[in-house]
Structure 1
Amino acid sequence: MAVTFGDLRVADVSGMIAAAIAVVQIFIPLALPLVLLGVLRDEHTGATTVSAVSWSVIGRSLHGSRWPTLLASDSASIRGVPWQVVFITRMKTIFALLTAIAAVVTPLGLYQAIVEDNEWTENVSFHYIKDPSEFGWGTPLRVNLPWSRLCESFVPVKCPNSFSNITNWHNETGDYARIYSEDSHVPQYVIDAFQSGLDNTEDSVSSIFDIQSRSYSWELIDDDPEATMPDNGQPYPVSKFRMISSNIPADEYLVVEGLVVDMKNGGVGFRNHSAPPWTPYGSTWSEDLLFIEPESRCVDTNLTLDFSRPKHASEGDSSGVAHVMLTDRGGFTNLDQSYSRHPIKNISQREPHLWDRAYEAAWINNALSMVFMNVTNPRNTTDAGSSAFTYLNSHVGKQFPLSRNDTLDTRRVGPNAIFISSKYGGYLEGLDWKFEELNLSNPVYENPFNVSSRNFSDAGYLCSHTDAPVDFGNPNNFAAACGLVYGVPRRIDSNSSQIVFEPGSNWSVPLYSCIMTVKATIKRVTFRFNGSDDLSGLKVTEINNKVYPNEESKPFWGIESSDNEMLYDFNPLWGLVSSPDQGNISLYTLRQESLYLPGFESGLEFSSIGGQENLPGIHFYSDALANVFMISDGNWGNTAIPDYTGIKNQGIYRRWQKLSGTAEGTAKILNLIWTDLSSNAVVGTRGLHGTRLQGYSSSIVSEPSSKTPAVKFMQRRVRYHWAYAIPALIVLALTAVIALATLFFTLMGRVNVTRLRQYLNKTSQGRILTTYLYGPRSETVARGPPTPQKRKRGATRRWVENMGRNPVTVAEGENDLLVIDGPRAAQARPLLEENQQKGAAMSHDHED
């Protein structure tokens, strides 16, 4: 990938500048000695004559450069040199190299970041922020929208704590009601009771009466003038469902109008979105929010539906599959024959036994399938001495056909979809004349023990545990839905693509028994507000379960109870309450971290037609449960919800294919579908800006209170990646060692200016040359008589005046020796004369 100047950071440019400076620092010390050599002139004999002090300066320039090391000259030799001297001189080169590397690498670690300020800001005013997405403009405005509640199954009944006047009775001919008046209004004292617990929470926590339908309308039930109509025939609000957008492809936390949506794990948090004052770099804070989240468990039945793709268009059925088989992957052969079919007891809020219930349904599904296909026998209930499983006509890998002449009579399998059904054993429909009481002339199975769809329905009833017609509203009768999940097919005949359906390819569909329920809880949510001053600038960075220091600090939940009405007639109210005593309202109460929500899976689909009341907090979660277990081809004709099978969306299909490979992943699929449906069904209306109404402008600002969360405003700061500092840290460590060594020798008296000056003089090349030439007279012999003033000057200046200006000639002699000459030098050799004689001799030899 090409990198342009626009891709460079400040740190990159700083590193490039440092690299250029390092190159210059290396080049100049190498180049200047070469320039110096260029200005020095050698005589015709190869000798060079300059003043003695010039030889010291030239030596300093040449030997202080890198050339001695590169050319391995005398001053870079290690032979015959004490190791201490070698080590210290080598350290100089290594230190210079490390310094150059550090100069280039160190700036690369610099970067600018937007970080939290160290201080929390208290008493910050929050303001409403509008959602500019389709969820914002798809959510209608609402002003003082009242609640409405009507209770009935086959006939109207009086809701708990209602002002209606209805008399009900039952006889052998049916259920009857006499309506004197029917009032849809929810009394204010009921609303107050289920909001009383909010006094012990942060302002951001919602109640059941802060949950509204995202879509609503006003309705009249009956235009018959003789009919007794609710509210004396006045229009009243009802909840509706209209899909706005699907968030299934998103694997993140989302914020939409009125909700925090957890598309990672599943769940919706209720919040009418607001934010602190906008700043250039943003802000962050945390809030407690009421969340309603699904909880699912799945059990692998160890059965698969296997099929192949037709080789020719004329083969197979209309869905594009052929040779459909039910394969025993251990679900028949290894079935626990001692498992009891008695319902699981002691199901409660604290022990919901979700996995056990899903397993029980899977066991019933597998056992009845075996009996249906005569793989084994059931116990004869009329014979006390009989027993089940006296024979087993199966083994791991055995396949049982599920189609008649490759024509599939059930739509539970397809090449490119996931199917979720509340029906156990649905893959056996249409394979005999008894299962669905069909008149088939050529059944695939004889079904000798007369297994019917009603037998399979026991699996769902025992799993969900709630029998709505006879169960009353209490904490242990919480909403649950069960069913079979037919996973996304996976190719089993090769490692070829899992999304290309080649003719003749073989595929396998896993079968899972799943249970799903819903619970309310309080979660701690961390927000970051940055960018635009609307909802697009609000992000959720963390969602965590709230931690409670002790049992007394946990939420206190209340559930509406009724001694007369069953769950089939009404869903109970629930919420946070301050105490068990709420006047004349009868309550069940619990103190615990979360509450499995009461009710039952009604089997009602979300519909754009709408319901008959406006109290979504007691209905939407169970209606969403029902819709999840109706996800099949075409969603059973329900056009109000999108296609979740993956048939029409490759992205959804691939995500489901990855997740449905395990029981845990399949449970997550159920949670995500429930969350997506719920985010389109409801909206939260409680916010920190002080309003409970949806769709207000940003001019609405709260007055801060002691419950308003503290905010950290973000600041721009310079930060550093410490890995880039390693060369600099090494240089720093070496510098510290050298500094300590210098301090040590100074304190020991072995290092001082006088001694350093002595060694500088001892190693001065000019002094050495004049000492060699003039011996002990080198400090006193001069061209003219010395004066007292000159003797009083510094040693270097005195030496320059006395001897340093004398010309000295140096040339290379034989055997790597130097030939040195100077005027009036007692120890000088006849340099020029010897060189001339040497030159003449060479000329003579050449002539010979």
Structure 2
Amino acid sequence: MAIIIPKLTVAQAATIINAIITFLQYSIGLALVALLLYCIPPFNSANSWSVAARQVHTSLWPVILRRTHTYASTRVNFFSTLSLISALLVAICGIVVPLGLKQGPPVHSFFHPINASFIQDTSPLGLATSPRQDFKFGRICGGISQVLCPGNTPETINRTEIPPSVFETFSSTPHGPFNMEFRRYFINNGGYNFSMAKAQIGIVQSLILQEGIFAADGLIIDMTETPGIGFSNHTIPSLGDGSTWSQEMFWLEPVTTCVNTNLTIDYIRVDEFGVDNFNLTDRGGFANLTTEYPQLSRDGQNINLYEHAYKGAVLGNFFTMMGFNNMTRNESFVGKTYLLNRSSTSYTIGDMTTGDLSFLQNATLGDPDTSCRGFGGADNANITNVGVQCGGFAGPAQRTDGGDERIPSMNSTWTQSIHVCASTTRASIQTVTFTINSTRDLRDLQITRKISNTSVLWAVEKTDLMIRDVDLFWGHVVDKYESDPSLWTIRSNALYVPAGGSDSWGVTGAGQPSTVPAAAWAKVYALSSLSDFDYSGKTNFALLTKWQSLLAKNPETGNAQIRNLIWTDMVANSLVGTETHSTLVAASLEPSVTYDLRYAIPLLLLFIIWVPSFLASTFILVLGRLKVTYLRDFIDHTAVGRLALGDSALAPVDMRGGSEPVHLNEGSWRKAVGKTIVSFRSIINVRRSGGETFYDKVPKSPAASD
């Protein structure tokens, strides 16, 4: 049977219990002494009076009544007061000190290898994942007509199998293209009528509104400010009370930079769907347009996405300006508005439109052309031509009249900023740390990740094919391939994924899950063509609110963050990791407590008294300066029974040093009892020297044995 008491912590409950016990401890002593004095008969043996006196004097009654300290010496008063303070501090410590205790975080024991077992994901994403046994990697090459894939021979041009040498190279570590598979797939004819595993691209379970880092079937998904996905077929150590462990994980992350065009779309809401004064406003995009042609560095893996986005923004503004009757920058000014023709566009008010911004009077701002991406389909596929997607971006609608964005109203004014963004995919190896309690549920995993700055060897297939004809294999390989003539290699802590046919055509390559990131970027920059999920916020108001909050923090980084989160959601719904660990180096979790040192102040004061007292008493006892036999004699001869019978070694001494006892009359005993000098020093001195005591020489009376 248990009692449940709400609104109390364990420390608070322990404090209440200690307070009750302390109260009982002292109050029961007072009560029993009072009952003893009430019930004691007027005639008792000497030992009985000694026992009764001991009970009275060890209780709190002398402290409360303050009767014995009136005429005591300074030394006796000092140690008596110190004992009282110590007793009070002990009582206070018993009540206050436990309040500082709190449940601490779990701490891990030592790490050691331990068997791990697979854990099933029961979320919609996990339940929708296709079985793995029928999946098969493959590849076809040729965007317009079939060509020979890297590693194949002319005799194998009509085959889709990956050459063993290529498979061996990019399987030499678990951080490459063969560690990922399509989440959902079906076997059907791919390009050139080859039967292949094709991706079923779709949103099984949108994760866009989730926060933090969490696990899903085959993936670690990060939806924080630095989104991305890690690939792992989850296994958990077999430790019943919880455990923690770390894994080096293959990681893909979106990287985006956005540049403000300094153009906005502005309008007035007249009803739920209609608008008035639908204008493009020059915020400096036309009037302050640069006269210098934007440059784009060709530095391969040292990519500068800002240059890509800036070039797209400058050229987009220029062609948009030309669309208004070949207008020049001198004909515009900051704040000038241009009426837009809505009849020729399917633009929806508040829609987060990207890709197609044709309503901007012949604008090419949203066209991901070669000038912004930095490559074309006819360029050579290699490690230096990084897969970049570009496009214009009309951000979520933001209210400009001071009203609440969540409550649109008639005649409210709204604006949408236009940015040009450039995005790519970066591969890296990252350390992911897992902690789980005694359950076996992926939702209970606590996950943190740390970017590894360790430089590793990355490789990309070497070929002379055009980008539109091939999706190259890439990944982390072992060091023996560093000088392989069939590879481009680089030592770095990350690899920007090279451009391929999936970037040019915007589709996923059959049999090649590694093409999903590029195909996802193509969809991100053409949201109007997506029907799988409403990423614009047009029908998902929670999503719209999230987008608006990101823009409110920072328009440039907010726009980039929107792109990155959409890409992460798409890729997580399309890919699954297959790397499995049957053994993990893990540590079990053990409970701990934390303590607030403010509650230890009474204990500190008690230690200040205890430490010198304990050390000094130990010193005089160990060195024989005080003998235990003296303590026993002192107890015996200060007993009230011996004093009453005159059998005690205590004797009054004259102030002048005489040995004759002082005779007191009955009227002056109250005053004299506090001033008369009573000596026990002879026993102290003799006991210190180990000789015979005065008490040993006194004849024993028959009453002494009573």
Q: Please report how far the alpha carbon of residue 642 of structure 1 lies from its aligned counterpart in structure 2 after TM superposition.
A: 1.4
For the pair 1:21 / 2:21, whether they are aligned, the reply is yes
State the 1:654 CA deviation: 2.4
Report SS of the residue matched to 2:165: helix
Q: 1:94 to 1:579 in 2, by over 3 A?
A: closer
> CA offsets per residue over residues 216-258 of structure 1, 9 Å max, x none?
1122369xxxxxx656xxx333232232111112212222222
In 2, the alpha carbon distance for the partners of 1:794 and 1:526 equals: 81
Counterpart CA distance in 2 for 1:421 and 1:627 is 10
Mapping of 1:635-646 within 5 angstroms?
635-636=528-529, 638-639=530-531, 641-646=532-537
Task: Provide the C-alpha distance between the structure 1 equivalents of 2:664 and 2:127, rounded to a whole number of angstroms.
Answer: 98
How far apart, in 2, do the equivalents of 1:280 and 1:111 lie? Answer: 24
Counterpart residue number, 2:165: 189
> CA distance change for structure 1 residues 733 and 799 in 2, over 3 Å: closer, same or farther?
farther
- 1:581, CA displacement in angstroms? 5.9
CA–CA separation in structure 2 for the residues paired with 1:577 and 1:473 = 19
Q: Return the alpha-carbon distance in structure 2 between the equivalents of residues 38 and 374 of structure 1.
A: 116
Q: 2:410 aligns with which of 503, 528, 532?
A: 503
Q: Deviations over 1:727-772 (max 9, x none)?
A: 4344334422443465678799998886998899999999999956
* Post-superposition offset of 1:352: 0.6
Assess, with a 3 A threshold, how the Cα gap between structure 1 residues 270 and 63 changes in structure 2: closer, same or farther: closer
Decide whether aligned partners of structure 1 residues 486 and 75 sit closer, same or farther in structure 2, where only a CA change above 3 A counts.
farther
Indicate which of 76, 81, 92 corresponds to 1:101.
92
Shift of 1:24: 2.1
Contact 1:164–1:183 under 8 Å retained in 2: no
Which residue number corresponds to residue 333 of structure 2? 394
Match of 1:657 in 2: 548
Please say if 1:209 is aligned against 2:178.
yes
Letter matched to residue 625 of structure 1:
W
Q: Give matches, 1:370-385, under 5 Å.
A: 372=323, 377=328
> Which of these residues, 246, 265, 273, is aligned with residue 234 of structure 2?
273
Equivalent residue, structure 1, for 2:471: 571
Q: Find the residue that maps to 2:115 and give its secondary structure.
A: coil
Helix, strand or coil at the partner of 1:152 = coil
Q: Which shows bigger deviation, 299-308 or 212-221?
A: 299-308
* TM-aligned CA distance change 1:360 to 1:58, over 3 Å: same
Match of 1:146 in 2: 136
Q: Distance in 2 between matches of 1:330 and 1:83?
A: 90
> Equivalent residue for 1:844?
none
Separation in structure 2 between the aligned mates of residue 491 and residue 364 of structure 1, nearest angstrom: 29
- Name the structure 2 match of 1:673: 566
d(CA) in 2 for partners of 1:497, 1:76? 76
Deviation at 1:627, TM superposition (A): 1.3
Query: Residue type matched to 1:543 in 2?
Result: R
Question: Is the CA contact (8 Å cut-off) linking 1:253 and 1:263 kept in structure 2?
Answer: yes
Partner of 1:358 in structure 2? 309
Counterpart for residue 110 of structure 2? 119
Cα-to-partner distance string for 1:353-373 (whole Å, 9 max, x where unaligned): 112322333333445555555
The amino acid across from 2:305 in the alignment is L
Give the number of the structure whose alpha-carbon radius of gyration is greater: 1
Question: Match of 1:490, as an amino acid?
Answer: Q
CA distance in 1: counterparts of 2:115 and 2:29, whole angstroms: 64
Between the aligned partners of 1:283 and 1:345, the Cα distance in structure 2 is 48
For the structure 1 residues 770 and 735, does the alpha-carbon distance in structure 2 shift closer, same or farther, using more than 3 Å as the test?
Answer: farther
Q: 1:21 to 1:322 in 2, by over 3 A?
A: farther
Q: 1:325, 1:401 within 8 Å by CA — same for their partners in 2?
A: yes
In the alignment, structure 1 segments of 5+ residues that lack a partner are 43-50, 167-180, 199-204, 223-228, 378-388, 436-451, 549-553, 690-707, 781-790, 806-848
Please name the residue that 1:292 is paired with. Answer: 252
Task: Report the secondary structure of 1:602's partner residue.
Answer: helix
Letter in 2 for 1:126: A
SS at match of 1:146: coil
Are 2:509 and 1:625 aligned? no
Mapped to 1, the partners of 2:267 and 2:429 lie a distance apart of 46
Match in the other structure for 1:613: 510
2:607 aligned partner: 732
Work out which of the residue numbers 544, 564, 585 in structure 1 matches 2:450. 544
Q: Cα offset for 1:603?
A: 6.5
Deviates more, 1:680-689 or 1:768-777: 768-777
Distance in 2 of aligned mates of 1:798 and 1:412: 120
Equivalent position SS for 2:424: strand
Is 1:721 paired with 2:588?
A: no
The amino acid of 1:464's aligned partner reads R
Residues 1:525 and 2:432 aligned together: yes
Alignment check: 8 A CA contact 2:259 2:421 kept: yes
Q: Hey, what's the Cα distance between the residues in 2 that align with 1:375 and 1:747?
A: 106
Q: Contact 1:482 / 1:516 at 8 angstroms: preserved in 2?
A: yes
How far did residue 325 of structure 1 move? 4.1
Secondary structure class of the residue paired with 1:151: coil
1:150 Cα deviation (Å)?
Answer: 1.7
Question: What is the CA distance between 1:674 and its match in structure 2?
Answer: 0.8
CA displacement at 1:516 relative to structure 2:
1.0
Q: 1:484 to 1:83 in 2, by over 3 A?
A: farther
What's the CA shift string for 1:29-76, capped at 9, x where partnerless?
A: 56566657867999xxxxxxxx998996697367655524xxxx6778
Distance 1:55 1:252, change over 3 A: closer
For the aligned residue pairs, the C-alpha RMSD in angstroms reads: 4.5
Q: Which residue of 2 is the match for residue 586 of structure 1?
A: 486
2:187 to 211, 215, 218: 218
Of 666-675 and 729-738, the range deviating more from structure 2 = 729-738
Native 8 Å contact 2:62 2:68 kept in 1 = no
Q: Structure 2 matches for 1:779-798, cutoff 5 A? A: none
1:323 matched to 2:298? The reply is no
Superposed displacement of residue 85, structure 1: 8.0
Deviation at 1:399, TM superposition (A): 4.8
2:243 pairs with 261, 268, 283, which one? 283
The one of 388, 401, 404 aligned to 1:493: 401
Q: CA deviation at 1:21?
A: 1.0
Say yes or no: does 1:453 pair with 2:360.
no
Report the TM-score, using the length of structure 2 for normalisation.
0.79
Aligned partners of 1:165, 1:97: CA distance in 2, in Å?
A: 96
Q: Secondary structure at the match of 1:679?
A: helix
* CA pair 745-74 structure 1, distance change in 2 beyond 3 A: farther
Q: What does residue 712 of structure 1 align with?
A: 587
What is the distance in 2 between the residues matched to 1:307 and 1:33? 91
* Contact kept? 1:302, 1:328, Cα under 8 Å: yes
Contact 2:266 2:416 in 1 (8 A): yes
SS at match of 1:261: strand
Query: Is the contact made by 1:16 and 1:104 (CA closer than 8 Å) also made in structure 2?
Result: yes
Structure 2 unmatched runs, 5+ = 43-47, 645-649, 653-661, 679-693
Percent identity (aligned) = 25
Select 2:373's aligned residue among 460, 464, 478: 464
Does the aligned pair in 2 maintain the 1:365–1:459 contact within 8 Å?
no
Q: Secondary structure at the match of 1:421?
A: coil
Contact 1:481 1:625 survives alignment (8 Å): yes
**C-alpha distance in structure 1 between counterparts of 2:30 and 2:338, whole Å:** 87
Give the direction of change, closer, same or farther, for the CA distance of 1:86–1:464 in structure 2 (3 Å limit): farther
Distance in 1 (alpha carbons) for counterparts of 2:559 and 2:69: 73
SS in 2 for 1:506: strand
Separation (CA, whole Å) in 2 of partners of 1:501 and 1:585: 62
CA contact (8 A) 1:527 1:541 kept: yes
Please say if residues 258 and 683 of structure 1, whose CA atoms lie closer than 8 Å, have aligned partners that are also in contact: yes
Indicate if the aligned counterparts of 1:413 and 1:486 stay in contact, CA closer than 8 A.
no
Q: Residues 653 and 98 from structure 1, CA distance in 2 versus in 1: closer, same or farther, beyond 3 angstroms?
A: farther
Contact residue 266 and residue 279 of structure 2 kept, 8 A: yes
Match of 1:60 in 2: 57
- Change in Cα spacing, 1:90 to 1:144, as seen in structure 2 (3 Å) is same
Identify the residue that residue 297 of structure 2 maps to in structure 1: 345
1:158 maps to: 148
1:819 corresponds in structure 2 to none
SS of residue paired to 1:126: strand
Aligned to 1:137: 127
Quickly say closer, same or farther: Cα 1:23–1:560, change in 2 above 3 A.
Answer: same
